[in-house]
Homo-oligomer: A and B are copies of this chain.
C-alpha cells in the first residue's frame, strides 16, 4: 500500500478519539468483555447536496490508521491522569499497552465507489476493545473525503469538458483540511490543484499563474527591464503592439505582464481584472501575447476573477478575435480561465449563458462543501458475541440494520441496476434474489445477468492508492445510470433487502421494541 502522505500523521494517534471511547473500553475490560467478538459497520443515512449518490473515499487512510493503531506511553499516562478514575485497575493500562489491530478484519467497498444510504461502506470485525476505540477516527477519515469527492464529482458533471482546478487551500479547515480537500476533489473528478504540497506528497498535477499583488507591485513601464526571448525584445515589442492598439490601459499592469512573460514564457496566463478586465487587462495581455508570438512562444490565456464571468469570457474572446484579425495572429489556442466564488449554481448559470470558459478554478465552495458541510456518517455495532444487535430510536430512521451483511449490485437484461442487502452468509439460489423494499413492502424477484459483491476483504498491505481510486471513480460515474447520478431531479437508486434478511430484521425489531401503552 502506498503511503498517501496527505498529512496529519503527527496527530493521528490512539488519542485522536472521543473520550467516551476510553471510558467504555475500560468498562468492557472491567466486565471481561474486551475480547468479545464484535462487528461494526460504517454507513450514512442520507445523500448530501440534494443528490442521490455518494462517492466513497478515505479507505486507504482508514486501513493505514487501523494497521498502525498503538498507544504511546505518553497517551497511556494521559488516560490514567485525565480520563479514568484515580483507582482504575492497573491491568487495564497493560492491556492498552499491548492493544493492536492484529485481530481486526476489514471488508470494504473499493475506494471511489458509488454508494447509497444504509449500505455498509466498511465492515469491521474483531475484539470489542479495539473495534470500539477506532470509531471516531474511522468516521473522521471517511466523512470529509467522501463528502468532497461527491461534491467534486457534481462539479465535474456541470463543467463538461472544461479543465477543473482546485484552489481552496486558503479556505479549508486548516492546513490538513486543505490537503484533504485537494486529495479527494482530485479523486472525485478535478484535474489539478494550486496546492504544491499536494503535488509533492501525492503526485497531483499542480498549476498556477499570478495574483493581483503581482500586478499591483508594478506601477509604470520603467518598473520592468527588457529581456530578449529568441531574439525578440519582449518589452519593446509589447509596447509597440500596445501603441498600435490605440487603447489607454494601466501601465503598471502592462509592466507586470511583460515581467511575467519574460520570466515564465511557457506559462503565460494573465490575471486581467486588477483595474478593468476588458479595457485594461485583456488588451495588455494581448500586446504581450503577440510579442511572445513573434518570439515563437504561445501564450496560454487569461484568468477572470470578478464580474459576470460568463459574459466576460464571451467578450474577452471577441476582443481576442478583433485584435487577432488586426495583427493577423492566431488566437484560437488562447484559453479563458475563471475563478471567484464559483459553485454549482454559478456553473449552471454559466452553461445557460453559453460561456466560453476553458478552465475553472474553484476554491471556497468546493472545499467547504457549502451546500452541506458534513456527511452524517455513523459507525454502528451490528453483532456482539455472535448475536445480532439492533439499536432502536424514537426516530425510526435511526434504527440500525442488525447483523453482518453483504451488498450485491446486480444488473439485469433490461439494463436495470439494483443493490441488495443480504445476511453475510446468504447465497442466492440460481443467482436469483427474492427481495423486499422494507419501507413500502413492495416485493421483487430479481434475475440478474451480472452480479457484483461490493464488500471485499481488505488486505492491509495492499489498498489501492489515490490514483487507482480516482480511476475507479471515473469509470463508475461514466457507466452508472445517469438518472441516479444527475444533479437535476435525480432518481433514487433501488436498495432492497433480501427476503431472508428482512425476516431477520423484522423479528429482531419485534423482539426489542418497547410497546406504547395507551389507557
A→B interface (CB under 8 Å): 6-13, 15-24, 26-33, 36, 38, 40, 74-75, 78-79, 82-85, 128, 132, 135-137, 139-141, 143-145, 167, 169-181, 194-197, 199-201, 206-217, 219, 223-225, 227, 248-250, 259-260, 262-267, 273-277, 279-280, 306-307, 364, 367-370, 373-374, 376-377, 379-381, 384, 387, 389-395, 398, 512, 514
Contacts and interface: CB of A to CB of B under 8 A. Distances in A.
A225 B74 CA distance: 32
A83 B173 contact: no
Contact of A27 (B19, B28, B259, B379): B259
A5 to B, nearest CB: 9
Contact of A174 (B27, B177, B369, B395): B177
Given A83-B196, A140-B174, A20 B210 contact: yes
A275 B83 CA distance: 27
Given A206-B82, A395-B307, A17 B384 contact: no
Contacts of A171: 139-140, 143, 374
A408 to B, nearest CB: 26
B206 A19 contact: yes
Nearest to A305: B393
B217 A28 contact: yes
Contacts of A132: 213-214
Assembly of this chain: how many copies? 2
Contact of A250 (B144, B369, B512): B512
Contacts of A395: 306-307
Given A209-B23, A512-B275, A393 B136 contact: no
A11 B197 contact: yes
A32 B225 CA distance: 9
Contact of A374 (B8, B17, B38, B364): B364
A262 B391 CA distance: 23
B79 A31 contact: no
A374 B330 CA distance: 42
B208 A27 contact: no
Given A8-B8, A17-B169, A139-B171, 13 more contacts: A7-B176, A8-B10, A10-B10, A11-B175, A16-B196, A31-B225, A85-B267, A140-B169, A140-B174, A140-B175, A145-B174, A219-B389, A276-B394
A265 B30 CA distance: 12
A369 B373 contact: yes
B250 A394 contact: no
B175 A217 contact: no
B174 A206 contact: no
A305 B26 CA distance: 22
A213 B140 CA distance: 18
Contact of A208 (B13, B18, B250, B381): B18
A393 B340 CA distance: 13
Nearest to A195: B18
Given A16-B197, A280-B514, A144 B172 contact: yes
Contacts of A250: 512, 514
A393 B273 contact: yes
Contact of A38 (B8, B217, B219): B217
A196 B22 CA distance: 9
B141 A196 contact: no
Contacts of A16: 169, 175, 178-179, 195-197
Listed residue (A181, A212, A263) with the most chain B CB atoms within 10 angstroms of its CB: A263
Given A174-B176, A176-B11, A200-B75, A307 B394 contact: yes
B214 A24 contact: yes
Given A169-B136, A512-B250, A210 B175 contact: no
A311 to B, nearest CB: 11
26 contacts: A7-B11, A7-B174, A11-B201, A17-B169, A18-B169, A18-B194, A19-B194, A19-B195, A19-B206, A23-B210, A23-B264, A27-B260, A30-B263, A75-B200, A78-B199, A85-B264, A135-B211, A143-B171, A144-B177, A173-B180, A217-B381, A217-B384, A219-B384, A274-B392, A274-B393, A276-B392
B197 A13 contact: yes
A11 B172 contact: no
Contacts of A260: 23-24, 27
Contacts of A40: 213
The 9 closest A-B pairs by CB, nearest first: A176-B176, A19-B208, A173-B177, A20-B208, A368-B373, A173-B173, A213-B381, A30-B263, A7-B11
